[in-house]
Amino acid sequence: MLVEIQNVRQIPGEDFRKWYVDENTDLIVWFDTPRENITGFQFCFDKKSVQRCLTWQKSGDGRPVLSADGRYSKTRVLRIFNSISEGLPEDLRDLVREALI
């Protein structure tokens, strides 16, 4: 299950971020202000082998943009996320699931 890292370093000029981890995945989430509107996320998985990352950003026109660092199985990634996301805030969990579909 993903656990939030406390006191994540904030980078000046970037949106506020939160970071969730487990032994094989990372989920980094950016917000326009602390815990307001999600502006993007990066979901990294398979850290123990060949790590892959999916990045979602809310573009200027409000439409989401999802990019990957190579080929991946949407079904597998969604299954991985569903198996570790139980403790996440519901709005975040729903947004990530929708983006991964």
Does the pLDDT at position 23 exceed 80? yes
Q: Whole-model pTM above 0.75? A: yes
Q: So where are the chain's domains?
A: 3-100
The pLDDT tens digits for 46-100 are 999 888 899 999 876 656 677 777 778 899 999 999 999 999 999 999 999 998 8
What are the residues whose beta carbons fall under 8 Å from the beta carbon of 6, sequence distance 6 or more? Answer: none
